[in-house]
Structure 1
Amino acid sequence: MNELKGKVALITGAGQGVGEGIALALATEGLDVAVVGRTLAKLESTCEALRARGVRAAAYEIDVSDTAALATLVDRVVTDFGRLDILVNNAYAGAYGPLLDMSDDDFRKGFESAPFAAFALMKACHPHLKGGGSIVNLVTSAMVRWDPTTYGAYAAAKSALRSLTRTVAVEWAPDGIRANSIAPHAMSPGLEGWTKAHPEEAGAFVASIPMRRIGDPEADIGRAVVALVGPDLGYLTGATIPLDGGQAFFG
């Protein structure tokens, strides 16, 4: 029996890339999906693909940086779907670049869209996840990158999210809630555009991945999330799972 079928997942940043890939993988297992993001047209496109796989899907247009609105979002999702079992915090809208060139506001954006938004969503989802729910927060191998140049703000925000995830895992374990982080490499639209614009740099990047390829959002990242939230890994919580073809060393 598929123990995930009929459950409901809320996924932020699900209009494209890794978020969409995770949504599609979960839909294949029969999960209904609340598709959250900033661009309605992209969200609706994801919803169409999910419905084609036989599940319920609904789009929720919101900027997760507006943390005051996130509790209401969760209430809407629970009202629309009748339950909530899985939360995936994928959205990120921060800045990249040398630290001396970065404004305070740009540095702050990554924290607002990653740890602050995740904190608000996790708290709002907590009563609905009790008794078997699961949280997956997306972090990054940039946190342990050999050369963090231009990735400083991104790595800092995601490091905060990773630490937060570990605390949630420990504090909420008695409530039956698991929380884990994943650090993926996947061919998102942004990364695909960069690889086409900078083929030599992209070649060097791929060469630094032991498996010599960039992951697929659904097949490599989404399927891993299916395993992570499923019963077979029910004793795993507080972990950070690298999904990067062996590139990063988390120690």
Structure 2
Amino acid sequence: MTDLRDKVALVTGAGQGVGQGIALALANAGAAVAVSGRTAAKLEQTCDAIRERGGRALPIAGDVKDPASLGEMVAAAVDAFGGLDIVVNNAQEVPLGTLLEVTDDAFVAGFESGPLASFRLMKLAHPHLVARGGGTIINLASSAGIRWDMTGYGAYAAVKQAVRSLTRAAAAEWGRDGIRVLTVAPHAESPGLKWWVENNPEEAEAFFRTIPLARIGRLEEDIGRAVAALCGPDLAYLTGATIPLDGGQANFD
């Protein structure tokens, strides 16, 4: 199993879904985990689950769209655990709908919570990662960016493709600092996906038929553990890539 003892991680949007699965897996691998999100009660549930397993966890309520809040997240994690080695930019507001349906406010919120928040948090974390001799940044993307039919997903795809570009740039610029930057694009049993399935049953049925492994990823076992492995020493030569954690459905070539 991946050994992340003595590592400190900060995971945004960790009160539920994919972020929670990643936080649990990182903690299970030995990392101390600062979990951030907007709902304190959900963060406490994640931290309780980590502590029940003997791990170390810190809840940090905040909004990734607020630059000051992002700074407070980093400062709290460093103050509590003595440094920072892993950052997971998971939080995201999703602007779904056709181009005529998506409002300016929804589109802006998607960018503020996605690529802009990731951009800001990566820069805030940079000096702390450098101080530890390097580290790993994981950004979250989506196969929506390369859908065969972009109808209803254009705004969301634009947001997520921007994240992938930032990943490539950071990997190129910060590799000499010992910082690896990767993007993962998961299909997982998250509340968001469950909502989409319930509200788009016919499209969902057709979508699931395109997944070779014929199932959706489990939050901790399939997505979280893969992220933990990406942060570990066995994959220390991998950076700048987009890793599809989707049962073989997407083709990012």
Q: Give the shorter-chain TM-score range.
A: over 0.9
Judged with a 3 Å threshold, the aligned counterparts in structure 2 of structure 1 residues 198 and 72 are, in CA distance, closer, same or farther, namely closer
Equivalent residue for 1:55?
A: 55
Q: Percent identity?
A: 62
2:221 maps to amino acid: A
2:157 aligned with 1:155, yes or no?
yes
How far apart, CA to CA, are the structure 2 residues paired with 1:93 and 1:37?
Answer: 12
Equivalent residue for 2:73?
A: 73
Q: Secondary structure at the match of 1:43?
A: helix
Tell whether the 8 Å contact from 1:67 to 1:116 is kept in structure 2 after alignment.
Answer: no
Question: Any unmatched runs of 5+ in structure 1?
Answer: none
2:140 aligned with 1:170, yes or no?
no
Once the 2 structures are TM-superposed, how far is the Cα of residue 3 of structure 1 from its aligned partner?
A: 4.2
Once the 2 structures are TM-superposed, how far is the Cα of residue 76 of structure 1 from its aligned partner?
A: 1.7
Query: For 1:70-109, what aligned pairs fall within 5 Å after superposition?
Result: 70-109=70-109
1:182 maps to amino acid: V
How far apart, CA to CA, are the structure 2 residues paired with 1:109 and 1:132?
Answer: 31
2:38 maps to amino acid: R
Equivalent residue for 1:128?
A: 128
Q: Secondary structure at the match of 2:100?
A: helix
Return the match for 2:212 from 195, 210, 213. Answer: 210
How far apart, CA to CA, are the structure 2 residues paired with 1:101 and 1:202?
Answer: 21
Cα RMSD for the two superposed structures = 1.4
How far apart, CA to CA, are the structure 2 residues paired with 1:119 and 1:196?
Answer: 33
Once the 2 structures are TM-superposed, how far is the Cα of residue 128 of structure 1 from its aligned partner?
A: 1.1
Query: For 1:5-16, what aligned pairs fall within 5 Å after superposition?
Result: 5-16=5-16
Equivalent residue for 1:219?
A: 221
Return the match for 2:188 from 162, 186, 189. Answer: 186
Please report the TM-score for the alignment, with normalisation by the length of structure 1. 0.96
Q: Secondary structure at the match of 1:100?
A: coil
1:98 maps to amino acid: T
Once the 2 structures are TM-superposed, how far is the Cα of residue 198 of structure 1 from its aligned partner?
A: 4.5
How far apart, CA to CA, are the structure 1 residues paired with 2:196 and 2:167?
Answer: 30
Once the 2 structures are TM-superposed, how far is the Cα of residue 175 of structure 1 from its aligned partner?
A: 0.6
Tell whether the 8 Å contact from 1:94 to 1:111 is kept in structure 2 after alignment.
Answer: no
2:219 maps to amino acid: P
Question: Any unmatched runs of 5+ in structure 2?
Answer: none
How far apart, CA to CA, are the structure 1 residues paired with 2:143 and 2:112?
Answer: 20
How far apart, CA to CA, are the structure 2 residues paired with 1:190 and 1:239?
Answer: 25
How many aligned positions are there? Answer: 251
Equivalent residue for 2:43?
A: 43
Tell whether the 8 Å contact from 2:13 to 2:37 is kept in structure 1 after alignment.
Answer: yes
